[in-house]
Amino acid sequence: MTDHMICQNQDNHLLYALKHGRFWFWDKHQNKWVPSDFAAQQYAKAQTKEPDLTQEDWLGRCFGILKDDYEVPDAVVKALRALSNKEEPPCQVNTTAPNADAAVTMAAPAATLAEETSTTQTDANSCPPGPCSPAGTSAAMSSLSDAETACSAAEFDYSGLDAQTVTDLHLAEQMYTSGRKLAEMGLRRMADGVSIAHDALCVTIATKCRNGKGAFSDSEKTFGSWCESVGLNRKAAERLLQVAKLFDSSSPRQQQVLEELSPSLLYAAAKPSAPADLVQAVKSGDITTHKQYQDLLKENQQLRADRVNALNAAAAAEAARDAALADVDGLHEQNRQLQAAATGAQESYRTAHKNEDSALRRATEAEQRAKEAEKQLAGARQVADAARMRADKYQREAEAAKAQPVAAAVDEDEINRRAHTLADELTAPLRSELEAAKAAAATPEQIELDTRNAYDSLLLAGRAMQNAWKSVKPQLAKLPPDTRAGAINQMTNTLTEIQTEAIKCL
């Protein structure tokens, strides 16, 4: 129960136990516990490397996996409890003996011993060193009294402790011993005894050591020494402390319920890792058997696993949601960019449409100006034809005048009159357009159109004057010198008048 440790070796899968400082293994063929010289050999080898390592630490940390009583068959636990309670502290083991287990267990079948030794021999040096195992060293051990003489239990050193602490430790030893005699019924008494010793040593002595007093520098090590003195390994002591804590944290009514429960259930509920709801159910009496507790524990673990999975799934869903929201934000941003691009395209289209309308309007205006220019050109041609006709008339008159003797000098007034008449005829279209422009409403478009038309008219007038000059120039050669000079003078005066009026328009 609390005075033993059980573990399972991972290599040969055999069950090993440590009780009262001696190693045992479970013989499945004989269905009983047999002293294990193999474990003692492995422990002794480890001890040579690390002498301070305890048997309990070596067994649970290096040699196998610790098992609670409820984790192994009841028959195995009962058989271990039925072993002699006579403590046999560790002895030195002859590690050179090839079959030390066989020497101790004469009645064990050879097959069982071979199974233990052969399946674990490869791991002889695989574990860190541990304390010495008290297995029998040879077949020369003739009686239990001889073993007791050779291996005596280490007594606890009370020197350096105050009277109150010594009294508390003796009380704790009495409670533990009396509780062990009661077997399962004395579990609480054993737990209370260990708790009293732990409080007396690990609290009182630790306080004194911090103040520079006391004979013990390591209170936990001192507590371990006390546990060994009463035949209790440290692992079992820790479990009993957990049970004591379970009772201390319970109400009187709950303590009555706990006292009626089995040790295996109390050990399970006292573990620090026990779920709080199951511990409360044990205290309230809702859980009364260890099997019921184990079933609920598995269900609780499954619920926790399901909760963790649900939380993970929720976290994954939340992450997916965040990713989706990020995608949506990205799509919104992309949509805004597309809308901005569409707006820009629409604005460009409107601008292009306006430009197209302006271009069409300008093209229409240009076409109209071209038509006007054609009309003006036609008018200029008519003017030119009229000028030619007048020139021809003047030529005929001049030829007729040549045929007649000159009776008098040239009439300058007549020449001026004719020049004015010719100038009026030539500028009549321009004056008409100017008057029409003054009469029309002055809109920007009309002003632009009038400006272009006026400019075109001036160009046409200039070309008309050039054409008139080209038609008149050959006629000057036909005039007599005295007449020619007067005509040229009259033409020059007319051009001077036109120039003077044009300068006034600047």
């003996």: which residue's tokens?
A: 97
In this structure, the dihedral spanned by the alpha carbons of residues 154, 203, 179 and 71, taken in order and rounded to 10 degrees, is: -90
pLDDT 10s digits, 273-284:
899 999 999 999
State residue 437's pLDDT score.
58
Is the model's pLDDT at 477 over the cut of 50? yes
Task: Report percent pLDDT > 90 for the chain.
Answer: 11
State residue 280's pLDDT score.
93
Cα–Cα distance for residue pair 94/44, rounded to 1 Å = 9
Cα–Cα distance for residue pair 168/411, rounded to 1 Å = 168
Measure Cα distances from 367 to 16, 354, 361, 370, 450 in Å. 118, 19, 10, 5, 15
State residue 401's pLDDT score.
67
Cα–Cα distance for residue pair 407/390, rounded to 1 Å = 24
Which stretch, 60-64, 92-96, 285-289, 390-394, has highest mean pLDDT?
A: 285-289
Banded model confidence at residue 249, pLDDT cuts 50, 70, 90: very high
State residue 260's pLDDT score.
87
pLDDT 10s digits, 428-452:
877 777 777 566 556 777 778 878 8
CA 211 to chain centre: 52
Q: What is the DSSP string of 4-63?
A: EEEEE-TTT--EEEEETTEEEEEETTTTEEEE-HHHHHHHHHHHHH-TT--HHHHIIIII
Helix, strand, coil percentages, rounded to 5, for the chain: 70, 5, 25
Is the model's pLDDT at 155 over the cut of 90? no
Let me know how long the chain is.
Answer: 506
State residue 96's pLDDT score.
36
Nearest alpha carbon to residue 150 among 162, 163, 134, 165: 134
Query: Across residues 306-319, what is the average pLDDT?
Result: 85
Residue 127 near residue 45 (C-beta atoms within 8 A): no
Is the model's pLDDT at 59 over the cut of 90? no
State residue 35's pLDDT score.
92
Nearest alpha carbon to residue 161 among 106, 110, 133, 200: 200
Nearest alpha carbon to residue 90 among 144, 146, 23: 23
Query: Which is higher by pLDDT, 42 or 401?
Result: 42
Residue 90 near residue 170 (C-beta atoms within 8 A): no
Is the model's pLDDT at 306 over the cut of 60? yes
Nearest alpha carbon to residue 436 among 449, 420, 426: 449
254 Cβ partners below 8 Å, 6+ apart?
283, 284
State residue 34's pLDDT score.
92
Is the model's pLDDT at 142 over the cut of 80? no
State residue 368's pLDDT score.
85
State residue 144's pLDDT score.
28
Model pTM? 0.37
3-state SS assignment for residue 244: helix
Nearest alpha carbon to residue 65 among 104, 4, 1, 14: 14
State residue 411's pLDDT score.
65
Is the model's pLDDT at 488 over the cut of 90? no
Nearest alpha carbon to residue 222 among 285, 159, 289: 159
pLDDT 10s digits, 168-217:
998 988 888 888 777 667 788 888 989 998 998 886 554 454 434 444 45
Residue 437 near residue 450 (C-beta atoms within 8 A): yes
State residue 442's pLDDT score.
61
Structure tokens at 171: 């009380």
- The amino acid at residue 423 is A
| Other CB atoms within 10 A of residue 167 CB | 12
Nearest alpha carbon to residue 269 among 258, 281, 279, 261: 279
State residue 173's pLDDT score.
87
Is the model's pLDDT at 455 over the cut of 90? no
CA 193 to chain centre: 54
447 Cβ partners below 8 Å, 6+ apart?
none
Sheet holding 22-27, edge to edge: 32-35, 22-27, 15-19, 4-8, 65-67
Cα–Cα distance for residue pair 44/28, rounded to 1 Å = 25
pLDDT 10s digits, 11-48:
778 899 998 888 999 998 889 999 998 888 888 888 88
Is the model's pLDDT at 242 over the cut of 90? yes
Residue 278 near residue 304 (C-beta atoms within 8 A): no
């090839």: which residue's tokens?
A: 98
Cα–Cα distance for residue pair 43/125, rounded to 1 Å = 10
Cα–Cα distance for residue pair 464/383, rounded to 1 Å = 8
- Compute the mean pLDDT over every residue in the chain, rounded to the nearest whole number: 76
State residue 17's pLDDT score.
92
State residue 204's pLDDT score.
55
Measure Cα distances from 468 to 92, 379, 384, 414 in Å. 152, 14, 7, 19
State residue 335's pLDDT score.
85
188 Cβ partners below 8 Å, 6+ apart?
179, 243, 244, 247, 258, 259
